[in-house]
Amino acid sequence: MQHTAVTLIELGAVFFGLGVLGRLAWRIGMSPIPLYLLGGLAFGQGGLIPLGGIQPFTEIASEIGVVLLLLLLGLEYSAGELVTGLRRSWMAGLVDVVLNASPGAAVALLLGWGPIGAIALAGVTYISSSGIVAKVLGDLGRLGNRETPVVLSILVFEDLAMAIYLPILTALLAGVGFVGGLGAVGVSVLVITLVLLLALRYGRYVSALVDSPDPEVFLLRLLGAALLVAGLASQLQVSAAVGAFLLGIAISGSTAANATRTLAPLRDLFAAVFFVVFGLNTDPSEIPPVLPFALLLALLTTITKLATGWFAASSQGIRRMGRARAGAALVARGEFSIVIAGLAVGSGAVSGELAALSTTYVLLMAILGPVAARVVEPAAQWLVTLRPAAKR
Is residue 295 in a domain? yes
pLDDT at 53: 62
Q: Which of 108, 110, 91 is closest to 99 using CA atoms?
A: 91
Domain range for 82 is 3-382
pLDDT at 238: 61
Looking from the CA of 172 toward its CB, the CA atoms found within 13 Å total 20
Q: Which residue has the higher pLDDT, 27 or 307?
A: 307
| Overall domain count for the chain | 1
Is residue 391 in a domain? no
Average pLDDT over residues 93-116: 93
DSSP structure class, residue 321: H
pLDDT at 317: 86
Residue 123 in contact with residue 104, Cβ under 8 Å? yes
Is residue 389 in a domain? no
Is residue 313 in a domain? yes
Is residue 181 in a domain? yes
pLDDT at 185: 64
Q: Which residue has the higher pLDDT, 24 or 173?
A: 24
Please report, for the domain that includes residue 59, its CATH number: 1.20.1530.20
pLDDT for 48-99, tens place per residue? Answer: 566 666 777 777 888 888 788 778 877 876 666 666 766 777 899 999 999 9
Rounded CA separation 122/336 (Å)? 12
pLDDT of 372 higher than 60: yes
pLDDT for 286-310, tens place per residue? Answer: 788 889 999 999 999 999 999 999 9
Average pLDDT over residues 307-315: 92
Q: Which of 80, 31, 9, 18 is closest to 253 using CA atoms?
A: 80
Q: Which residue has the higher pLDDT, 202 or 108?
A: 108
Is residue 145 in a domain? yes
pLDDT of 46 higher than 60: no
**% of the chain exceeding 70 in pLDDT:** 82
Give Cβ neighbours of residue 292 (< 8 Å, ≥ 6 apart). none
CB neighbourhood size of 382 (10 A): 10
- Which contacts (CB < 8 Å, 24+ apart) does range 210-214 have? 210/251, 210/255, 210/259, 211/255, 211/258
DSSP per residue over 263-309, as a string? Answer: HHHHHHHHHHHHHHHHHHTS-GGGHHHHHHHHHHHHHHHHHHHHHHH
| Range with top average pLDDT, 97-101, 150-154, 168-172 | 97-101
Rounded CA separation 366/203 (Å)? 34
pLDDT of 160 higher than 70: yes
pLDDT at 179: 61
Residue 292 CA: distances (Å) to CA of 107, 247, 321: 11, 40, 32
Is residue 387 in a domain? no
Rounded CA separation 252/258 (Å)? 10
Is residue 358 in a domain? yes
pLDDT at 367: 81
pLDDT of 387 higher than 60: no
Average pLDDT over residues 274-288: 77
pLDDT of 254 higher than 90: no
| Range with top average pLDDT, 78-87, 202-211, 235-244, 360-369 | 360-369
DSSP per residue over 139-155, as a string? Answer: HTT-TTSTTHHHHHHHH
**% of the chain exceeding 90 in pLDDT:** 19
Rounded CA separation 304/301 (Å)? 5
What would you report as the CA-atom Rg of the chain, rounded to the nearest whole angstrom? 21
pLDDT of 146 higher than 90: no
**pLDDT classification of 197: cutoffs 50, 70, 90:** confident
pLDDT of 392 higher than 50: no
Specify whether the backbone of 252 is left (phi greater than 0), alpha (psi in -120 to 50) or beta.
beta
Cα angle value 289/294/299 (rounded, 5°): 145
